[in-house]
Chain A
Amino acid sequence: MHIVVLTKPVPDPAAAAERLGPDMRLDRAASPAVVNGNDEYALEAALKLVEAHGGEVTLLTMAPPGGADTMRKALAMGATRGVLVTDPALAGACVRSTDEVLAAALRELTFDLVFSGFDTSDGNAGVVGAAIAARLRLPYLSNAAKIEPEPDAGLVRVRRITPTGYDVLEAPMPALVVCTQVLGEPRYPTLKGIMSARSKEIASRSLADLGLDGARVGGAAATTEVLDSRKPPARGATTVVRGSAAEGAAAIVSLLASRRLI
């Protein structure tokens, strides 16, 4: 079985240093990059499946050239190889360009399944997976809490989380699956994994390699633009109450009553 996992380098949320530059694009120098947290869950799910069924995991990333550094960490978790789509024309790419480019890169690969994370911690849109599936006419199975491929039958079954439980979905492979955290916590890379990741292949692809025109995808063809950005309004001062439990409870009740919440 061959699984492609879409991974995106994002500014480290824990560093809390994200800011936009004068061009209203992410100031990448200001904030260290990490693999998007939800993509690590997708990768973990893929690794478990190839451990059970045999096969390989390919990472697919669209990022500036430095994206290769964050891909190494995902390779250290156990992915087989990586494909990095990188091109100066992609700076400032919008969602529409991203799905078009990733779909073009996937057309060059052979796979049974494509996994994407639930969303990314920078933009939070979570729409690229559905758009790629539509472009490639792949069955789209989202919100997965469990993924059960049957390679012999050429099928995949997915538990899709619903507001009241789950639906069991079934589709022929190849298919695209959007993973959730319920699939299980990502593993930490082992020292051996880190060592072997250094020599794993990361193939670099430009827009020209993919047969795409830099004037029609990427920053020049962005469908959206950021007009301005600001810090969210600061919250008011915090009232701190120490004392007995009853005093604490009374302080809460009094605040809720004054704000007509009870």
Chain B
Amino acid sequence: MPRFWVVGEPNADGSISKLSTEVATLARTLAAAAGGEAVGVVVAAEPDRAAGELAAYLPRVVAVADPGIARHAWSVPAAERVAAVLGDDADGHVLLGAGPDGRDVAGTLAALTGRGVLANATAVRWESRLVVEMGAFGGKLVTSSGFKTPGGIVTIRPNMVTAEPSAAAGVVEGRSPAGDAALPRVAVMDSVEEAGAAAPIEEARIIVSGGRGVGGPDGFELVRELAAELGGAVGATRAAVDSGWIPYSQQIGQTGKIVKPQLYIALGISGAIQHKVGMQTAETIVAVNRDPDAPIAEFADLLVVGDLFDVGRALLVALRERTG
């Protein structure tokens, strides 16, 4: 019976991450198709809340309480505890979110268990084996891949699956960490909250993004206002980030994040390949650009030719009139 293990990522407040609920929903679907079992694993100093929340999506969740983990970078000790829970289930597949923590756990777990890794999946199916769809070369190709070994590790991009709780909540099984950890733990000396930290753009339903055309940090005020009006997040190109107008956390593209929102509004963004690879799978793309021949004209659904500030302000007025 194939097992699909879901590594649940707890948020700082102890709740389960949204991405983990998406991954859990996918694991449940795969288990149903494969006649297997989906099991969650949550490792934290106090895992009960996150494990309980994850159990709304999975029939069984293993909660490993590791009191020392709060003072250390999470991913390495978490991966060790997950490897211990996997035990001798060499056939089991491990599913994680494709965020910074998920990829760290995936890499560590790959070395600890000898499993292969298929990263940043956009779809996963069961066809008497696991078939994993991913973008390659920044989305210029879509590939389907499989494991040649019995078990594998798959990281799943945000917003690929809609999280749906199961009909009946699952059980949480508390467990103490087994054995001593062998890998060095890295001490967290301090955790700093930065003012104005924005909502994570990977999970946003709507993103309003600014590029070089925005012209400066003040120009991003309009981008922010539009994003707020639409209930979305603010994104940016590398040029805008390198100029220091907006933090790196908001950068979309080859050296930034890859997003798949329902709506992407690109203001003053030419749509060069380096940016395109980060946002081309958005469901609806709207661009405002002075240059009708900008590359973004080739893949936007709607291109408004004009000054981004004039059109952006007019759009803000029109949206506010609607909501009145």
Contacts and interface: CB of A to CB of B under 8 A. Distances in A.
Given A125-B120, A232-B142, A141 B115 contact: no
Contacts, number: 302
Interface residues of B, number: 101
A151 B193 CA distance: 28
Interface stretch (B20-28, B163-171, B209-217, B313-321): B313-321
Contact of B108 (A37, A140, A238): A140
B196 to A, nearest CB: 10
A239 B306 contact: no
A56 to B, nearest CB: 24
Interface string A103-146: 00000000000000010011111111111111101111111010
Contacts of A142: 73, 75, 100, 104
A170 B189 contact: yes
Given A38-B255, A121-B137, A229-B141, A171 B305 contact: no
Interface stretch (A75-83, A188-196, A204-212, A243-251): A243-251
Interface in B84-141: 100, 103-108, 110-112, 114-120, 131, 135-141
Contacts of B106: 127, 130
Contact of A225 (B148, B186, B188): B148
A162 B100 CA distance: 9
A127 B286 CA distance: 33
A131 B242 CA distance: 30
A84 to B, nearest CB: 23
A238 B293 CA distance: 12
Contacts of A225: 145-148
A96 B71 CA distance: 29
B248 A180 contact: yes
A interface, by DSSP: helix, strand, loop or mixed? mixed
A163 to B, nearest CB: 5
A240 B305 CA distance: 7
**Interface band, chain A:** 35 or more
B204 to A, nearest CB: 13
Contacts of B141: 18-20, 229-232
A180 B238 CA distance: 13
B117 A127 contact: yes
B117 A96 contact: yes
Interface string B1-34: 0000000000010000000000000000000000
A41 to B, nearest CB: 8
A248 B105 CA distance: 46
A245 B73 CA distance: 50
Nearest to B283: A259
Contacts of B142: 229-232
Interface stretch (B40-48, B58-66, B273-281): B273-281
Interface centre among B142, B182, B258 (most CB of A within 10 A): B142
B307 interface: yes
Contacts of B305: 240-242, 248
Contacts of B300: 238
B172 interface: no
Interface stretch (A8-16, A44-52, A57-65): A8-16
B254 A13 contact: yes
A262 interface: yes
A225 B132 CA distance: 10
Given A127-B110, A235-B301, A249-B315, A167 B322 contact: no
Interface of B: 12, 73, 75-76, 79, 100, 103-108, 110-112, 114-120, 131, 135-149, 152, 155, 182-194, 197, 200, 206, 230, 238, 241-242, 248-249, 251, 254-256, 258, 262-263, 265, 273-274, 277, 280-281, 283-286, 288, 292, 297-307, 310-311, 313-315, 317-319, 322
Interface of A: 11, 13-14, 16, 18-20, 37-38, 41, 94-96, 99, 118, 121-135, 137-143, 145, 157, 160-172, 175, 180-182, 185, 222-232, 235-236, 238-243, 245-246, 248-253, 255-257, 259, 261-262
Q: Which 7 A-B pairs have the closest CB atoms?
A: A223-B116, A130-B107, A127-B107, A125-B119, A134-B111, A249-B314, A248-B304
Given A241-B304, A249-B314, A252-B315, 11 more contacts: A125-B103, A139-B184, A164-B194, A168-B192, A169-B189, A180-B248, A225-B147, A228-B144, A232-B281, A238-B297, A256-B286
9 contacts: A94-B117, A99-B111, A127-B119, A140-B186, A141-B186, A163-B249, A222-B116, A248-B304, A261-B230
